[in-house]
Structure 1
Amino acid sequence: MKTSSTDPATEAKPEVGPAEVPGQAEVPDVSHRDFLSFSDVAIKVTQRRLPSVDPGAMEMVLLLHRVTNALVYDLESTVHRPAGWSWGAFRLLFTVWVSGSLESKKAAKLAGMSRAAVSSLTNTLEASGLMARTPDPTDRRGVLLKLTPAGKQSFEKAFLHHNAREREWASPFTPDELQTFIYLLEKLNTAGQQAWVSHRD
C-alpha cells in the first residue's frame, strides 16, 4: 500500500484573511460616529448578534435616552450654567416656581430627585439668595421651600432663554408633526405611570 510522502506538519495551509477571522466581520467601523449617530449602528449590530431582540423597542429607548442626554447638555451649557446653576438646580427651581411653595419631600417627588439631592441643592440655592426655607403652618416640624423675589426674577429671565432654546429643538417639526410627537410622548408618559414601572420613592 502506497502512502503519501507529504509531511502533515509542512503541508501548506490556506491563509486566513482579516475578514475571515472569527468575529472580525461583526466589528463595525465607528470612527466617524458621534454620540447621537452611534444609535443606528448599535441597533443593527445588536439585531445581528441577538436576533430575538425587539429592534423597535430598543430604538425607541435608545433614541429617547440619547436625544434627551444631548438636549439636557445643550440646555445646561447654554442657559443654566451661565445663569449660575446646574440642571438639577433648574429642575428644583422649576418645580417650586410652578408650585408656589412646597414641602421638600414633595418637591423631591415632583422633580424626580432624591431627598438628599433636594436638601443639598436647597442649601446651595439658599446661599445664593434664590430660595428660602419657611416654616410649614400646617406642621410645626415641617419646612416649605419657596423662591425668593430675586430667585423668581432670575428664574423667569433664564426660563425665557430656556424656552427659546426649546423652540430651536422643536424647529425640525411642522406644527402638525410637533402635535403628533407630543401626543405620542404623552402616551409614553401615561405608560410610565403604570404599576409595573419602577418609580423613585
Structure 2
Amino acid sequence: MDRADLRYAAYARERLAAMPPPADAEAFALAYNLLQLAYLLVTDLETRIHRPRGWTLSGFRLMFKLWLLGPTRPVRLAEISAMSRSAVTNAVNTLERDGLVRRRPDPGDGRAVVVELTPAGQSAVREIFTEQTRREQEWFSPLAPGERDELTGLLGRILAARPQDVP
C-alpha cells in the first residue's frame, strides 16, 4: 500500500472504533489489509509474470495444480481452486488451445475426462514457477520465517472456519 492507503486505513479504523456496534474496527482493518494485499499481489503477479506470456494468474494456478497432482478431473480443479466449473472450463479451453494442457478420457470412468499438462505445459510451469516464487519471496521478505509460518497458520484457520455458505 502506498502512504495514502495506509493513512486512509488508519483513519477509517479510528472512525469505526468510535462507532457503536456492529462497527468492528479490528475486523475492518484486517479485511481491508487482506483485500489490499490480495489485490496488489494478484495485480503484480499478473502484470509482471503472467500477462507478458499471454496467461492469467488463474490459468497458471490451474497448470500449477496439474503439475503437482497430475491428470485431474475439471470438477476437482474447480473445488481446489475456488473457481466455478465454467471458469475452469474456460481456462482449460484457453490453455488447451495454446498447447499447454490436453483433455483425455478418465481411465476410471469412460464418461469423464481428466486434464493434464502437455510437455510444453510442464516446461512452462517450471519456468514460471521459478519466477513467481522469486517475486513472492520479495513480497513476503519483511516477515521473518517464523512470522511467515504464523501468518500462514492464522490464514489457514480463517479459511477453514469460513462461513458455511461460502464454497
Instruction: State whether TM-score is above 0.5.
Output: yes
The amino acid that maps onto 1:161 is E
1:121 aligns with 2:129: no
Equivalent in the alignment of 2:122: 152
Q: 1:51 aligns with which of 20, 27, 40?
A: 20
3-state DSSP of counterpart to 1:113: coil
2:63–2:125 CA contact under 8 A, matched in 1: yes
Unaligned runs of 5+ in 1: 1-31
Question: Structure 1 residues 181-190 or 94-103, which shifts more?
Answer: 181-190
1:137 to 99, 107, 131: 107
Distance (Å, rounded) in 2 between the aligned partners of 1:80 and 1:122? 16
The 2-side partners of 1:152 and 1:38 are apart by 43
Q: Tell whether the 8 Å contact from 2:59 to 2:91 is kept in structure 1 after alignment.
A: yes
| The 10-residue stretch of structure 1 (107-116 or 173-182) with the greater mean CA deviation from structure 2 | 173-182
Q: Return the alpha-carbon distance in structure 1 between the equivalents of residues 84 and 143 of structure 2.
A: 34
Query: Residue 165 of structure 1 corresponds to which residue in structure 2?
Result: 135
Q: Determine whether 1:198 maps to 2:165.
A: yes
CA RMSD of aligned residues (A): 1.8
1:1-201 equivalent positions in 2, closer than 5 A? 33-34=4-5, 38-48=8-18, 50-52=19-21, 53-192=23-162, 196-200=163-167
Cα separation, partners in 2 of 1:101 and 1:42, compared to 1, 3 Å: same
Task: State whether residues 83 and 158 of structure 1, in contact with CA within 8 Å, keep that contact through their aligned partners in structure 2.
Answer: no
1:33 aligns to what SS in structure 2?
Answer: helix
1:12-57 C-alpha deviation (Å, 9 max, x unpaired): xxxxxxxxxxxxxxxxxxxx724x6532223223334x43212112
Of Structure 1 and Structure 2, the greater helix share is in 2
Instruction: Report which of the two structures shows the higher radius of gyration computed on alpha carbons.
Output: 1
**Conservation of the 8 A alpha-carbon contact between 2:16 and 2:24:** no
Structure 2 residue matching 1:101: 3-state secondary structure: coil
Q: Do the aligned partners of 2:78 and 2:84 also contact (CA within 8 Å) in 1?
A: yes
Give 5+ residue unaligned stretches, structure 2. Answer: none
Contact in 1 for aligned 2:100/2:120 (Cα 8 Å): yes
**Separation in structure 1 between the aligned mates of residue 134 and residue 107 of structure 2, nearest angstrom:** 38
Q: TM-score, normalised by structure 2?
A: 0.89
Q: Secondary structure at the match of 2:160?
A: helix
How many residues align structurally? 164
What is the percent sequence identity of the aligned residues? 36
Relative distance call for 1:62 and 1:157 in structure 2 (3 A) is same
